[in-house]
Amino acid sequence: VGSGGLLCALDIGGSYVRVMLTAGEEIVRHQQSSWPDNLAPRDEVKFVADLALALLAPAPPPAAVGVSLAALLDEQGVVVQWPNRPGWRGLAVKQILEARLDAPVTIEDDANAAALGEHRFGAGRGYRDLLVIMAGTGIGAGLILDGVLVRGRHGWAGELGHLILLPDGPACSCGRNGCLQALASGRALDRAAAERGLAGAPAVNQAAARGERWASEVVAACASWLGLAAANVATLLDLELVVVGGGLRALGSAWWTTMESSLHANGLNSDHHRVELRPTQLDDRAGLLGAGILAAESIGADMIEPLFHR
Ligand SMILES: [Zn+2]
């Protein structure tokens, strides 16, 4: 394979950056790095590009670059909001990366990229109509209908975390009240922990594991809200599958079964059209693989499942 045919996938997260170069099914190189301290936001984007360039050297520019970025973007690839790195607001990430890498760059938010990865190579393989939910500190989702990622007018389709389920509910990071994310994410667990003078979501999980009733109820409430939101989306779109992953999976089987019960109890005609619920399969590789798919699709190529060495 000529090195000019390399595809470059970037997974830009709050605490790490991953780069993968592929040629066909072969992963030519991949690397993960944490963020260096004290860089200006624009230099952080250049740091990402330089990681890719170092991996590419001495090969010519890649054929295409796909990016999974854990931020809200506009149609031009400019960051609208990134709670983890507020300084990135207004940064033209796509433009900076294209100039530095001398290749076309396609960016999706991390949930959309993960949905692409899970659909193609993970839990959603073989399904056509599905919702992939990543539930952690925030709640993101990617929606695939008729086998295609739904982007919407601004690329913001699938913002499941900001569906308002309880208008008088707790404040959300988006400035409104009662969004799913305020009710069911790691932030909801953090809030419940703080109300009892405990530190963070893991404390709630530990208390639930010790059989403390308040904690079990908090976990169950989070799971029920998530199941309800998924059921409403499944009803609206006649989905066949809901895939759930992310840090909240650590809440274990009580959380999962409550979510599943809520999904089925709140679905329309669930006796006849029971939507399936499955856990994600790709773990933290989903975004990187999704980025690879984006790169391939942007040049009309096919992304073949690359083999990771474990
Ligand atoms: Zn919100």
- Over residues 184-206, the pLDDT tens digits come to 999 999 999 999 999 999 999 99
Rounded CA separation 217/17 (Å): 36
Look at residue 164 and tell me whether its pLDDT is greater than 70: yes
The total of other beta-carbon atoms located within 10 Å of residue 2's CB is 9
Compute, in angstroms, the gap from residue 135 CA to the centroid of ligand 1: 14
Compute, in angstroms, the gap from residue 306 CA to the centroid of ligand 1: 36
CA 183 vs CA 59, 157, 171, 173, 192: distances in Å: 48, 20, 9, 11, 10
Q: What is the pLDDT of residue 270?
A: 66
Mean pLDDT of the chain: 93
Residue 274, phi then psi, degrees to nearest 5: -75, 120
Compute, in angstroms, the gap from residue 288 CA to the centroid of ligand 1: 26
Compute, in angstroms, the gap from residue 180 CA to the centroid of ligand 1: 7
Compute, in angstroms, the gap from residue 198 CA to the centroid of ligand 1: 24
- Over residues 50-78, the pLDDT tens digits come to 999 999 998 889 999 999 999 989 989 99
Q: Locate 202 and state its tokens.
A: 């893991």
Percent of the chain with pLDDT over 70: 97
Residues 6+ apart with CB under 8 A from 133: 111, 139, 140, 141, 160, 226, 230, 242, 243, 244, 245, 246
Rounded CA separation 34/11 (Å): 12
Q: Ligand 1 is a single-atom ion; what residues have CB below 5 A from it?
A: 162, 172, 174, 179
Q: What is the pLDDT of residue 308?
A: 63
CA nearest to 135, candidates 184, 96, 63, 179: 184
What is the pLDDT confidence band of residue 310, given thresholds at 50, 70 and 90? very low
Look at residue 153 and tell me whether its pLDDT is greater than 90: no
Q: What is the pLDDT of residue 25?
A: 74
Q: What is the mean pLDDT of residues 133-146?
A: 96
Of the listed ranges 1-10, 27-36, 125-134, 219-228, the one predicted with least confidence: 1-10
Report the alpha-carbon angle 131-135-140, nearest 5.
55
Compute, in angstroms, the gap from residue 175 CA to the centroid of ligand 1: 7
Q: What is the pLDDT of residue 186?
A: 95
Compute, in angstroms, the gap from residue 163 CA to the centroid of ligand 1: 7
Compute, in angstroms, the gap from residue 140 CA to the centroid of ligand 1: 11
Q: What is the pLDDT of residue 1?
A: 39
Look at residue 126 and tell me whether its pLDDT is greater than 50: yes
Q: What is the pLDDT of residue 4?
A: 52
Look at residue 3 and tell me whether its pLDDT is greater than 60: no
Look at residue 261 and tell me whether its pLDDT is greater than 70: yes
> Strands 64-69 and 7-12: what pairing?
parallel
Compute, in angstroms, the gap from residue 137 CA to the centroid of ligand 1: 13
Q: Locate 295 and state its tokens.
A: 């790169």
**Does 301 or 203 have the greater pLDDT score?**
203
Percent of the chain with pLDDT over 90: 81
Task: Provide the b/e sequence for 105-132 (b: ≥16 CB within 10 Å).
Answer: bbbbbbbbbbbbbbbbbbbbeebebbbb
